[in-house]
Amino acid sequence: RHHLIRFCPSRHDRPFHDPETHHFCFYIYIIPVAVGLELLWRGAPAAHPAGSGRGREEIDEKAERTRGAAANPNPRFQGCHSQAASQATGVMALVYRVPSLPSSRLEVSLYNGPDQGYLRGVECSAFWRDSSLAWSIDKRMLVSCSVGVGSRRGNRMMVAASPPTEDAVIATEPLTKEDLVAYLASGCKPKDKWRIGTEHEKFGFEVGTLRPMKYEQIADLLNGIAERFSWDKVMEGNKIIGLKQGKQSISLEPGGQFELSGAPLETLHQTCAEVNSHLYQVKAVAEEVGIGFLGIGFQPKWELKDIPVMPKGRYEIMRNYMPKVGSLGLDMMFRTCTVQVNLDFSSELDMIRKFRAGLALQPVRPLRLCVLSYLLPIFSCVLYFCDVYLNQIATAIFANSPFTEGKPNGYLSMRSQIWTDTDNDRTGMLPFVFDDSFGFEQYVEYALDVPMYFVYRNKKYIDCTGMSFQDFMVGKLPSVPGELPTLNDWENHLTTIFPEVRLKRYLEMRGADGGPWRRLCALPAFWVGLLYDDISLQNILDMISDWTKEERMMLRRKVPVTGLKTPFRDGFLRHVAENVLELAKDGLERRGYKEAGFLREVSDIVRTGVTPAEKLLELYHGKWGGSVDPVFEELLY
């Protein structure tokens, strides 16, 4: 039974030891196949799950007889019920606790050669991976393990990816594509481990002059917050560039936009409390030095030349590169603010549903991603249409950037429009999203084709703009010849891709304009209600299954200009948004945390079809007398 598991086309959401799954495997497949496999595999080691009645001594005894298998220079993963040879680490992994989900945490012993023997109690992530064809029944179990600061693969360490640090160990053996795939898949979590992370940016300004903060003022503000509220300082050279406290961090965008990256939290009540605490701390220090913060999607008053440049090496590289690949890249860097929510997924199938629904409800600067169920290749195409057809709704609801350099700019969401001419290599439509072979592997292939920005070495950013990560993987990167990447380098590269939905080891929903504090709580509520509830998510997919490509392209052109009043079929986009918001409310109610109240802030927007940007324009043409200056008070945190 254990050996035949590999050939069972069970659903992603069904445990491999489920009796119904075994029924299918043993009575649909030809019994002689099982006999043949048993003979073929006889003598192969078989670890047993905890509680099976066999002790670790017997498991280790069998493992001793199979050390040679661990030395296989091409360890193609052979996934059995309770044994896995790690493709991610290249060492033997004996699983003591077998995953009952398509992805899970495992307790394993890693065989690391005759000198070091077994490393016990290592925490790993595993997932059952389909072949590249959506309908294939071939499966492999991939395991990604952490030992200390990284995973050992032969004689090298693969460091767990993180923001640039000096922990990056020099690699002596090339990363493989399977390593990169396993890294992404290691983000899969069971539903009870799903969390909510909120990130938001805001413009700082001098209250007396309305001018943007200078770096020196920002540094004083960061130092003041650190000292008063016990944050740790983040430095680049001798410059303070951020703060960290537990799992929260404060960072600076290229033009000094102040960003909170919140901790992963369980409920929306916790995320909103975190936002309020952050705004209180910032305001307590900022008011003393005459600084205010503005919640809007695009800098309403000042020109690009008026915006300060933050002393971060990464941004210097981007600033020099952006004009070569688009006309609005510098505006994106220095004059936009967004709010986003980060959400978890349980499997590849769960990821594709969330990724595509998320893309569907935001503007199309998509990232193709996530996979499809190998059993439903046609349905996967329907999911893609979902993504790209409803992709304007979140942008319309949260549209809040109608001014540029003191005047109306002709858009309700200028921030969204800017992404149409920033850098087509890492934004925009991706034709292969229609392919049946979508998966973590295909996303890796896409990301590998995106030109690099930098490599971080010896506390410095090295300019690698336009170069290939694939060349880096074989030691042929011109900027660092002979060097090989670590997983830190891979994660850093993933952060230089800019879709509305971005994949790391979680999904980032990035499509909304910055806004006042109540909307900072409404956006995560919107996404959690839709994507963390299976019924609402399926209803979204059903709702948009018959939308056409022409309708999608029309929405992409018009929504940044006309918002919820965009004509659509027999009505307006507002009518679709009403249904979507109702699904979000229903999803929150089913969560049982009394979170639906966080959507009140956007309920009136959807009911009337009047976006935040249109309300600002009404004030500009009326009460404000043609001046944008009052917006700094209207949207002051």
Q: Quick one: 428 and 283 in the same domain?
A: yes
SS3 92: strand
- Whether 91 and 221 map to the same domain: the answer is no
Q: Is 580 exposed, middle or buried (0-12, 13-18, 19+ CB in 10 A)?
A: buried
Looking at the domain assignment, is residue 71 inside a domain? Answer: yes
Do 227 and 137 share a structural domain? no
Cα–Cα distance for residue pair 547/390, rounded to 1 Å: 9
Phi, psi of 202 (to 5 degrees): -150, 150
250 domain residue, yes or no = yes
- Report yes or no on 64 lying in a domain: yes
Q: What's 325's domain CATH number? A: 3.30.590.20
| Whether residue 133 is found in the same domain as residue 217 | no
* Domain identity same for 112 and 208: no
Last residue of a domain, one of 121, 154, 187: 154
Are 250 and 360 in the same domain? yes
Q: Which residues of the chain have pLDDT under 50?
A: 1-35, 37-163, 165-168, 364-390
How far is the CA of 301 from the CAs of 216, 368, 533, in angstroms? 21, 35, 41
CB 449 within 8 A of CB 519: no
Torsion of CA 531, 537, 543, 547, to 10 degrees: 60
Q: Which of 103, 133, 154 is the last residue of a domain?
A: 154
**Domain co-membership, 206 together with 116:** no
Show Cβ contacts of residue 254 under 8 Å, excluding neighbours closer than 6 positions: 309, 310, 312, 315, 318, 319, 333, 334
Same domain, 315 and 406: yes
Task: Assess whether 503 and 435 both reside in one domain.
Answer: yes
pLDDT score of 202: 99
Contact indicator for 188, 346 with CB cutoff of 8 Å: yes
State the Cα torsion 413-415-418-420 to the nearest 10°.
Answer: -70
Q: Hunting for tokens 């705004």 — which residue is that?
A: 279
- Total residues found in the chain within this entry: 637
Question: Tokens 């990301």 appear where?
Answer: 447
Please check whether residue 109 is in contact with residue 120, taking contact to mean a CB–CB distance below 8 angstroms: yes
Distances (CA, A) of 365 to 387, 414, 468: 11, 14, 22
- The burial class, CB within 10 Å (0-12 / 13-18 / 19+), for 535 is exposed
Please provide residue 159's backbone torsions phi and psi, each rounded to the nearest 5 degrees.
-75, 140
Question: Do residues 468 and 493 lie in contact, with contact meaning Cβ atoms separated by under 8 Å?
Answer: no
Instruction: Report pLDDT digits (tens) over 125-170.
Output: 444 443 333 322 333 344 444 433 333 333 333 333 334 644 445 6
Neighbours of 623 (CB within 10 A): 10
Question: Which contiguous run of DSSP H or E holds residue 32?
Answer: helix 31-41
**Are the beta carbons of 308 and 255 closer than 8 angstroms?**
yes
Q: How far apart are CA 339 and CA 526, in angstroms?
A: 12
Structure tokens at 524: 């995560």
User: Is residue 551 a part of any domain in this protein?
Assistant: yes
Q: Is 183 a member of any domain?
A: no
Q: Is 302 helix (H, G, I), strand (E, B) or coil?
A: coil
Please check whether residue 277 is in contact with residue 207, taking contact to mean a CB–CB distance below 8 angstroms: no
On the 0-12 / 13-18 / 19+ scale of CB atoms within 10 A, 74 is exposed
Residue 185 falls within a domain, yes or no? Answer: no
- Flag whether 184 is in a domain: no
| Of 138, 154, 170, the domain-final residue | 154
- Residue 146 shares a structural domain with residue 65: yes
For residue 126, the model assigns a pLDDT of 47
Q: Are residues 503 and 612 in the same domain?
A: yes
pLDDT score of 431: 55
Q: What is the pTM of this model?
A: 0.75
Residues 122 and 205 in one domain: no
In whole angstroms, give the CA distance from residue 607 to residue 572. Answer: 12
Residue type, 159: V
Number of compact structural domains in the chain: 2
Measured in whole angstroms, the distance separating CA 260 from the mean position of its chain's CA atoms is: 16
Q: Does any domain span residue 33?
A: no
Which segments of 146-235 does DSSP mark as H helices, in order? 177-185, 215-229
Which of the 8 DSSP states describes residue 513? Answer: E
Residue from 212, 207, 511, 194 nearest 367 by CA? 511
Task: Report the distance separating Cα 613 and Cα 555, nearest Å.
Answer: 18
Domain holding 234, by residue range, is 196-450+497-634
Q: How far apart (Å, rounded) are the C-alpha atoms in residues 594 and 318?
A: 43
